[in-house]
Amino acid sequence: MPTFENPAADADEVQTALRALAHATRSIDDPRQIYSVLGSLASAVASMSQSLHQIASFHDGGPRKGEWVPEVSAKARSASYRVSWDLHRAGEMVRQVGDVIANAHEAEAMLAHHREFPEHSRPTTPAADHRIGL
């Protein structure tokens, strides 16, 4: 269950859920589920983008009273800047991926899936032949 308060535990849960989804989508038995899956993925990717930006923002600001800060050294400031830069970049890339998934989700809405059932010949009886004019 999501905690909404423990980012490490929630990230572990996301990883497990995505692994399960990767397993479940190896073979899709009902293509009507694709629309729902794409909608959920588009939403999840938007949340992932937001999370990446929020984590990066932790490294954006300078030291604030009473908050956690990295050690004070040139090497630490450089690493903090790099983390911020890479996570903001990743957040933007993921946002763009989400846009593409949302486009696919929209296109999927135009598809109608149905099963093809084999045609079976109907047995004919003399009464049935008479009704259809044979």
Task: State the DSSP string of 80-115.
Answer: HHHHHHHHHHHHHHHHHHHHHHHHHHHHHTT-----
Split at pLDDT 50, 70, 90, the class of 1 is confident
Tell me the mean pLDDT in the region 45-57: 96
Model confidence at 130: pLDDT above 60:
no
For the chain, the first-to-last Cα distance in angstroms comes to 66
Query: Quick one: pLDDT band at residue 66, thresholds 50, 70, 90?
Result: low
- How many beta carbons lie within 10 A of that of residue 104, not counting itself? 15
Average pLDDT value over all residues in the chain = 87
The alpha helices in the chain, defined as continuous H runs, are 7-24, 34-60, 74-108, 126-131
pLDDT above 70 (res 132): no
Cα–Cα distance between 69 and 94 in angstroms, integer? 27
